[in-house]
């Protein structure tokens, strides 16, 4: 069977609290683990997308509206819908792993790191489609 969920693949969450949100696969576990005996992936996504900005807005308002709220999660493959898009994740790979979810402080640090990566990418204007919510 072809491996669909490779690191960097953009997907949409279908079930749960973040249903309808875009995520990027950081690590895939096709065989599962002892704790989770089903195929799953570690993903990082956007819980709250940045708001629309216009040319008339000042620098302070622009920086406030450009904030991104990320989330990290372990998701079953059956709850992910793959898209054709890829996202380069040089900095994201090292920030999240299986041990991140065991300790709350490490989870918080990982979310801060991902938030910084996403906001830098958004401000630079790369992958604009990733930072817009789905239309429906």
Q: Give the whole-angstrom CA distance, residue 131 versus residue 114.
A: 14
- Own/partner contacts of 1-4, CB < 8 Å, gap of 24 or more, are 3/28, 3/30, 4/82
The two structure tokens encoding residue 44: 């990082």
The two structure tokens encoding residue 40: 């799953």
Give the model confidence (pLDDT) of 42-74 as tens digits.
999 999 999 988 999 999 999 999 999 999 999
Q: What is the DSSP letter of 115?
A: H
Structural domains of the chain in order of their starting residue, each with its CATH number: 9-131 (2.30.30.770)
The two structure tokens encoding residue 124: 């630079």
Whole-number pLDDT of residue 2? 64
Q: Give the whole-angstrom CA distance, residue 85 versus residue 67.
A: 23
Using the CB atoms, write b or e for 111-126: b if 16+ within 10 Å.
bebbbebbbebbeeee
pLDDT range class, residue 89, cuts 50, 70, 90: confident
> Rounded to two decimals, what is the model's pTM?
0.86
Give the model confidence (pLDDT) of 17-41 as tens digits.
999 999 999 988 888 788 889 999 9
């Amino acid at each position: 069977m072809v491996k669909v969920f490779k690191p960097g693949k953009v997907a949409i969450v279908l079930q749960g609290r973040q249903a309808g949100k875009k995520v990027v696969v950081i690590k895939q576990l096709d065989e599962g683990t002892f704790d989770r005996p089903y195929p799953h992936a570690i993903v990082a996504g956007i819980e709250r997308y940045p708001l629309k900005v216009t040319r008339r807005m000042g620098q302070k308002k622009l920086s406030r509206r450009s904030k991104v709220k990320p989330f990290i999660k372990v998701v079953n493959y059956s709850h992910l819908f793959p898209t054709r898009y890829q996202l380069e994740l040089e900095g994201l790979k090292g920030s999240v792993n299986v041990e991140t979810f065991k300790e709350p402080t490490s989870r918080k640090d990982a979310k801060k790191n991902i938030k910084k990566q996403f906001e830098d990418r958004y401000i630079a204007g790369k992958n604009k489609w990733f930072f817009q919510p789905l239309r429906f």
